[in-house]
Amino acid sequence: MPQSGIDQLADAVLRRCGDDPFDLAIVLGSGLGALAAELDQAEEFAYGQFPCFPEGSVAGHAGRLVGGTLQGWRVLLFQGRFHLYQGLSARQAALPATIAHRLGCPRLLLTSAVGGIEPAYRPGDFVYIADHINLLGDNPLRGVDDNPFVDLSALYRQDLFSGLLTRARALGIGLHRGVLAAMPGPSYETPAEIRMLRLLGAQVVSMSMVPEAILAAYLGLEVVGLSLVANAAAGLASQPLNHEEVLAVGRRGAEQLSALARELIRLWQQNPV
Ligand SMILES: O=P(O)(O)O[C@@H]1C[C@H](O)[C@@H](CO)O1
């Protein structure tokens, strides 16, 4: 999956972090950047210094790649992701998956801030992604010549959920499992769209994750999706939706995300495929 400049970034990462393969890549969603501070032996790479990263950033995304260790695993952490509403294709938005694969990561943890469609999901709760509905109007495999017909029937690894739920309950963290609908944004949805998504079987809605997940599956990475409900979706919220509130809920949830990510790593280590 060639993309100009990726070799330059990979060389820099391997030079400073050592050339053993990474165990896990993590993409942090809006407001969820704090996990980066938990990495040991952290080396930081500003996106702006490497031409493979698209220009421009979204508030709440620091625009930094951090390599380090977490619970004994070599982790590559993307503090900032790319969205179609920035004017990018799904392939461009999936860049973290391309980079993770280039650096030898066999696993990808995708996180995001989402709107809750299911009324029982409260802002501050987490959702383990069961499956997705891609309404982005694009697919990262568009234009791929080499066998693009990838099977997505088991895209998001599910067997780690019950262990994570046990830990979440012990910590008093709300954790659900649900289907994510991906909308292109950047406007939030209308109440009619949210009613439609509910009828389609979605419990949460986002503007991201799906491009990275599909490309990662194509490249053979295991994928887990973990989202933070930042707001009740349009028509269900008592106040207008806004990105500042999404970021504020993200910052409040960051500590819980760290606890869940650590437990996920532990479960992943104990349950190799
Ligand atoms: O990067 P994520 O998907 O976490 O960010 C969500 C989707 C939009 O970028 C933004 C809307 O507030 O938050």
Ligand 1, residues at Cβ distance < 6 Å: 29-30, 58, 81, 83, 112-113, 185, 206-208, 243, 246
| Per-residue model confidence (pLDDT) at position 136 | 98
What is the count of structural domains for the chain? 1
- What are the DSSP calls for 104-155, one per residue? T--EEEEEEEEEE-STT--TT-EEEEEEEEE-SS--TTTT--S------TT-
| Per-residue model confidence (pLDDT) at position 248 | 80
If you measure from the C-alpha of residue 19 to the centroid of ligand 1, how many angstroms do you get, rounded to a whole number?
A: 32
CATH number of the domain encompassing residue 131:
3.40.50.1580
Shortest-distance Cα residue to atom 7 of ligand 1: 207
| Per-residue model confidence (pLDDT) at position 2 | 46
If you measure from the C-alpha of residue 58 to the centroid of ligand 1, how many angstroms do you get, rounded to a whole number?
A: 8
Task: Supply the pTM of this predicted model.
Answer: 0.95
Residue numbers of the domain that contains 103: 3-270
Numbers of helices and strands, H then E, in the chain = 7, 9
If you measure from the C-alpha of residue 139 to the centroid of ligand 1, how many angstroms do you get, rounded to a whole number?
A: 18
Q: Which residues of the chain have pLDDT under 50?
A: 1-2
Shortest-distance Cα residue to atom 12 of ligand 1: 243
| Per-residue model confidence (pLDDT) at position 241 | 86
| Per-residue model confidence (pLDDT) at position 4 | 65
Atom of ligand 1 nearest to the CA of 242: 12
Q: How many CA atoms lie within 13 A of 168 on its CB side?
A: 23
| Per-residue model confidence (pLDDT) at position 61 | 64
Dist CA 143 CA 91 (whole Å): 9
If you measure from the C-alpha of residue 89 to the centroid of ligand 1, how many angstroms do you get, rounded to a whole number?
A: 16
Q: What is the DSSP letter of 208?
A: S
Atom of ligand 1 nearest to the CA of 228: 4
Q: What is the pLDDT of residues 31-86, one digit of tens each?
A: 777 888 889 999 999 998 998 998 877 676 678 999 999 999 999 999 989 999 99
Atom of ligand 1 nearest to the CA of 30: 4
Dist CA 42 CA 162 (whole Å): 31
If you measure from the C-alpha of residue 222 to the centroid of ligand 1, how many angstroms do you get, rounded to a whole number?
A: 23
